[in-house]
Structure 1
Amino acid sequence: MGRRNSRRNREFVPLDLDRIRGGLRRTEVRRGREYTVQQVSAERAIKVYTCPGCNLEIPVGQAHVVVFSADNIMGDDAAIADRRHWHSHCWRIA
């Protein structure tokens, strides 16, 4: 009896290279709270932000991370609206 290949029945979804280059989301725990963290590559860093860790600018073209609460009581939309851009180093030591 031959092996069934269940992948034939799935719809093909092309690989999103921009998303991969931009970084995958991960969950981290800091001081008992869960945060969603996503890398921003230098190529995708197109605006200036102020890092909440050191209050210095994150210039255009500098790789950094975007952080938002993973357990916001107001829901995912509110959490994303409250996201903050951090220097990668500042987030690591926060």
Structure 2
Amino acid sequence: MPSQRKSKRRGQPYRPLDMQRLASVPRVVTRGGQEYHVQSLTGSAGQKSYVCPGCGHAVEANTPHIVAWPLNAPFGVDTGVRARRHWHNYCWESGTTGGY
């Protein structure tokens, strides 16, 4: 017996892909021969601030920033996730990995 469900998208106008939302999807970036998981965060009020390993200054809670951690940590995946670092966008893009 055929399904009677209707698609929720039929008849709705086309919506272009929101590239800003895709920026928050973790991706793998190679830097200095090491692979890193990298994720963009928009920042939100009420969260704690972090110290950027690139410049040593605070990454405030409400500031858009990058979170990066090694893909293949020397002592396993759990170590890599615990090694997450919050970077200013500029500091990460400048290409240094001084925090690792």
- TM over 0.5: same fold? yes
Deviations 1:30-84 (A, max 9, x none): 1111011011112378211000000011112001011100111211111011111
Give, as a single letter, the amino acid of the residue that structure 1 aligns with 2:56.
N
For 1:53, what is the secondary structure of its paired residue?
coil
- 2:73 is equivalent to residue 72 of structure 1: yes
Is the aligned partner of 1:90 residue 2:84? no
- Aligned residue pairs, count: 75
The alignment yields a C-alpha RMSD, in angstroms, of 2.0
Q: Unmatched 5+ residue regions in structure 2?
A: 1-20
Report the structure number with the largest CA radius of gyration.
2
Give the Cα separation in 1 of the matches to 2:56 and 2:22.
27
Aligned structure 1 segments of 4 or more residues deviating by more than 2 angstroms: 42-45
**Identical aligned residues as a percent:** 32
Question: Can you give the 5+ residue segments of structure 1 that lack an aligned partner in the other structure?
Answer: 1-19
1:31-50 superposed matches below 5 A: 31-43=32-44, 46-50=47-51
Change (3 A) 1:71 1:45: farther
Q: Which amino acid aligns with 1:85?
A: H
**1:22 Cα deviation after fit:** 7.9
SS at match of 1:28: strand
The aligned amino acid for 2:62 is G
TM-score by length of 2: 0.67
